[in-house]
Chains A and B, each alone.
Chain A
Amino acid sequence: MSQSTLLALISLLITVGSYYIAKALYKRHKTWWLLPSILAPVVVVFIVVWLSIPLPTYFEYTHWLVTLLAPATVAFAVPIYRERQLIRQYPLTISCGVIAGVMFGLTSTWLLTKVIPLPEELIHSVLVRSVSTPFALEATSAFGGVPELTALMVMLTGIIGMVIGEPLMKLFRIHTSLGRGVALGASAHGSGTAIATEIGQQEGVVASLTMIFAGIVMVICAPFFAWVFS
């Protein structure tokens, strides 16, 4: 086996390994720095730099993990189907929430990039940051974004939403179960959904529905949004 193949195999191993180890650790101790979304990438970056693995070698096998994002998107059909009762009960609330979430996400980020100086490639990559990664990676090309930077922006959004979501909603008196669930799903996608699930069952369900629908809207309307927010 050539050295490059060996390093590529090690890359895949440490990526999968550090993710599952971080997940297990976070299950036991709920501290922020053990979050799999923080610990796993940090550990992998550290090892890749330490072993000086070239990036193309790192991606030789790990890019197969990224191809699984498409079937993961398809898998979202199951929670939509399972929670059809809730959708039928509150169609107006959920659709208003999804539209508000996508529009607030795009306009706030767009306005902020007008005020805060950022380089071109980052501006294009940060616009879709409020939707879940599989959708964001699909939509970002329409905005001229870089997939890798987009993935990072989405992840940072999730972590920040996870930290400030609950206290902020208490402070500003967002009380209803659907209000909280939709707000968390729209602002912090998967991480927000995790927090919402800790608050309550209905909050969690509605957060995940909002996250999925917001992602779908973002992907389908991406060419139009890219034309408006350019």
Chain B
Amino acid sequence: MQLAHSAARFQLLRQQSKHVSLALLQIGIICLFAWGAHAVATALHSPIPGSVLGLAVVLLALALKIIPEKAIQVGAAWFIGDLLLFFIPPMISVIKYEDLLRQYGFNILLTIVLGVISVLLGTGFVVDRVFRFERKQHLKRQMAKHLKAQQLQKTHDTKAE
């Protein structure tokens, strides 16, 4: 009983360590892409920063099936899921700007609150309308396709008779 229990735990531990090592490997792969793209961007004096260039390269590689999605999926999920961790340090330097923030805190909040409201409502309003239009177009196209298929089927049937 005890033995079976510890065996199961051992199994679980092994699976977990396997998952962690896979994630670490994939994180390494993504870092290599990012730093490689950064080096290329610096060497070419590219106006587009290395990180965005790296994104484009990886996206292209995924689309052309040069790298399978599975090879970086777990690592990418970690980077995106824990994105917040990477920018806690810059926020700590607010200590340096304490007086500035104390003095202008209210104005900053006011600017951001009003800004967020305008972006949210403005974008929502535009997208709501464009989406209704595009959905209709999409449905029309699908209907047309459907009808055409039906017609084809009919002519096919009559021919068979």
Contact = CB atoms under 8 A, between A and B. Distances in A.
Interface residues of B, number: 77
Contacts of B83: 69, 72, 132-134, 190
B127 A149 contact: no
A209 interface: no
Given A41-B92, A129-B115, A70 B87 contact: no
Interface string A129-140: 110111101100
A81 B59 contact: yes
A153 B108 contact: yes
Contacts of B152: none
Contacts of A9: none
Contact of B130 (A92, A116, A148, A187): A92
Interface in B61-109: 62-63, 69, 72-73, 75-77, 79-80, 82-97, 100-101, 104, 107-109
B22 interface: no
B121 A116 contact: no
B48 interface: yes
A89 to B, nearest CB: 7
B126 interface: yes
A122 B33 CA distance: 34
Nearest to A219: B52
Nearest to B26: A75
A174 B119 contact: no
B87 to A, nearest CB: 5
Interface of B is mostly: helix
Interface residues of A, number: 97
Contacts of A160: 109, 112-113, 116
Contact of A16 (B62, B85, B107): B85
B55 A48 contact: no
B127 A179 contact: yes
Contacts of A112: 110-111, 114-115
B84 to A, nearest CB: 6
A156 B109 contact: yes
Interface of A: 15-16, 19, 36-37, 40-41, 44-45, 48-49, 55, 58-59, 62-63, 65-66, 68-82, 84, 89-90, 92-93, 96-97, 100-101, 104-105, 108-109, 112-113, 116-119, 121-122, 126, 129-130, 132-135, 137-138, 147-149, 151-157, 160-161, 164-165, 168-169, 172, 174-176, 178-180, 182-184, 186-188, 190, 216, 219-220, 223
Given A74-B37, A116-B107, A186-B120, 17 more contacts: A59-B89, A65-B88, A68-B31, A70-B50, A71-B51, A73-B54, A74-B51, A76-B80, A77-B56, A100-B123, A118-B111, A129-B112, A130-B116, A152-B94, A160-B116, A174-B124, A182-B124
Interface of B: 27, 30-31, 33-35, 37-38, 47-52, 54-56, 58-59, 62-63, 69, 72-73, 75-77, 79-80, 82-97, 100-101, 104, 107-128, 130-135, 138
